[in-house]
């Protein structure tokens, strides 16, 4: 009964709205948040899926409670976060999981690739190309204003990916957004409201040097970046400060550095990836396990420089085709196991279960 459900939920929202707007002395009512998401649920999803980034997740947890409590400054975004760190360590995935938990789908948030925005005609729409200039309206197509605006009971979510690619002009426009909570596209006809929005930005600024440092260290070269030990997190922050004005950085609530994913987390990350695959296989009434030989082989593909992305890709390229063959066969097997023998992966029905 989708229609009835919609009506019920609309009613609930207007009840909530009335409560929210009516001044009251009753604490239980006054303190009820207009936001329907539960920080606990979001954190459960994050802690299950994002491995090895406990410090970052603790800060994200604080943010979620702050947003839910809803006493932030009006006309400013609900929260402004910048995620720093190497590739494939969970920066984008964190935003996707938050979007999924709060909005019900990873498709409901607005993702702006700063690389795309760096193209002149898009940037022009932000930074004041004269009306009529080709592309002066195109920024509108880049920004999904509904996803950014959110709704009464749900925050909007926007992700500015690869911040380091943005031009000075675009950063200036962004600074304005962080300050005032809205953006007027230079066509003058479109205004985008960020005041009910969680803003996330990601950057791998400074990571190149860290990678070089780590590579040198692995080869035993110790005189790099001032010796054997560098504080990676403060290196990233320094690189950030070199690139962006304090004016801009001061408007960011949280600057969080993701760690490289070290070997100790591989087991868990593999479990997470397998879990995701099994969720998809459920629709085909099949489940997959890996034996120890297969796990060990997958670990050999892992490269810290590329993070978990690499592991996920190998599962897709090397294991999924084997599963595909198996489930297209006519026999009724539902449980499969993959091993690595004689230099190759092989799949068979799991007879032990």
Ligand X SMILES: Nc1ncnc2c1ncn2[C@@H]1O[C@H](COP(=O)(O)OP(=O)(O)O)[C@@H](O)[C@H]1O
Least distance (Å) between residue 161 CB and ligand X = 8
Contacts for 15 with CB less than 8 Å, ≥ 6 apart: none
Instruction: Kindly indicate which of the ranges 72-80, 87-95, 175-183, 283-291 contains the residues binding ligand X, using the contact rule CB under 6 A.
Output: 87-95
Task: Provide the β-strand partners of residue 193.
Answer: 182
> Mask 179-218, x = binds ligand X (CB under 6 A)?
-----------------------x----------------
Task: Using only the alpha carbons of the chain, give its radius of gyration.
Answer: 24
Size of the site for ligand X (CB under 6 A): 21
- Burial annotation 304-325 (CB, 10 A radius, 16+ → b, else e): bebbbebbbebbeebbeebbee
Do the beta carbons of residue 31 and residue 19 sit within 8 Å? no
Minimum Å distance from CB 181 to ligand X?
Answer: 26
Of 181-189, 192-200, 211-219, 301-309, which segment contacts ligand X by CB under 6 A? 301-309
- Whichever of 92 and 136 has its CB closer to Mg ion, that residue is 92
- Least separation, in Å, of the C-beta of 313 and ligand X? 9
Sites for ligand X among residues 41-80 (CB under 6 A): 49-53
Which stretch, 30-38, 144-152, 228-236, 306-314, contacts ligand X (CB under 6 A)? 306-314
Query: Which residue has its beta carbon closest to Mg ion?
Result: 92
CB of 146 to Mg ion, least distance (A): 23
In whole angstroms, how close is the CB of 85 to ligand X at the nearest point? 6
Q: Given the rule CB under 6 A, which of 57-65, 83-91, 166-174, 282-290 is the region that contacts ligand X?
A: 83-91
Answer yes or no whether residue 93 interacts with ligand X by CB under 6 A.
yes
Do residues 237 and 255 make contact, with C-beta atoms less than 8 angstroms apart?
A: yes
- The CA distance from 111 to 75, in Å, is 21
For residues 72-111, which are near Mg ion according to CB under 5 A?
91-92
Interface residue with ligand X, options 39, 90, 181, 206 (CB under 6 A): 90
Q: Which of 263, 295, 261, 289 is nearest to 275 (CA)?
A: 289
Q: Which is nearer to ligand X, 245 or 275 (CB)?
A: 275
In the bound state with ligand X, the residue whose beta carbon lies nearer, of 41 and 267, is 267
158 binds, among Mg ion, ligand X, none (CB under 5 to 8 A by kind): none
Contacts to Mg ion by CB under 5 A = 91-92
Contacts to ligand X by CB under 6 A = 49-53, 87-93, 202, 261, 269, 272-273, 307-309, 312
């Amino acid at each position: 009964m989708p229609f009835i459900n919609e009506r019920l939920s609309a009613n609930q929202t207007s009840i909530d709205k009335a409560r929210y707007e009516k001044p009251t002395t009753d604490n239980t009512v006054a303190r009820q948040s207009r936001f329907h998401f539960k920080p606990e649920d979001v954190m459960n999803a994050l802690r299950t899926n994002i491995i090895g980034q406990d410090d970052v997740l603790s800060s994200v947890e604080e943010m979620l409670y702050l947003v839910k409590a809803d006493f932030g400054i009006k006309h400013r975004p609900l929260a402004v976060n910048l995620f720093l760190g190497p590739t494939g360590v969970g920066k984008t995935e964190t935003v996707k999981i938050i979007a999924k938990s709060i909005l019900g789908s990873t498709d409901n948030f607005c993702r702006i690739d700063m690389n795309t925005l760096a193209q002149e005609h898009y940037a022009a729409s932000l930074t004041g190309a004269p009306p009529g200039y080709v592309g002066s309206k195109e920024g509108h197509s880049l920004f999904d204003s509904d996803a950014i605006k959110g709704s009464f009971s749900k925050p909007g979510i926007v992700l500015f990916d690869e911040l380091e690619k943005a031009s000075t002009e675009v950063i200036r426009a962004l600074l304005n957004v962080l300050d005032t909570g809205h953006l007027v596209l230079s066509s003058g006809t479109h205004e985008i409201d960020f005041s009910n929005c969680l803003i996330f930005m990601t950057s791998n600024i400074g990571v190149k040097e860290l990678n070089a440092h780590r590579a040198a260290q692995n080869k035993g070269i110790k005189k790099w970046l001032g010796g054997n030990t560098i504080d990676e997190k403060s290196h990233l922050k320094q690189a950030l400060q070199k690139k962006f004005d304090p004016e801009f950085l001061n408007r960011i609530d949280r600057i969080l550095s993701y760690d490289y994913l070290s070997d100790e987390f591989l087991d868990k990350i593999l479990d997470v990836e397998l879990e995701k695959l099994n969720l998809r296989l459920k629709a085909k009434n099949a489940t997959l396990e890996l034996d120890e030989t297969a796990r060990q082989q997958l670990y050999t593909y892992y490269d810290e420089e590329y993070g978990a992305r690499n592991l996920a890709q190998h599962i897709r390229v090397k294991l999924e085709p084997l599963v595909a063959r198996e489930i297209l066969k006519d026999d009724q097997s539902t449980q499969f196991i993959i091993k690595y023998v004689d230099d190759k992966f092989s799949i068979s029905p799991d007879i032990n279960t």
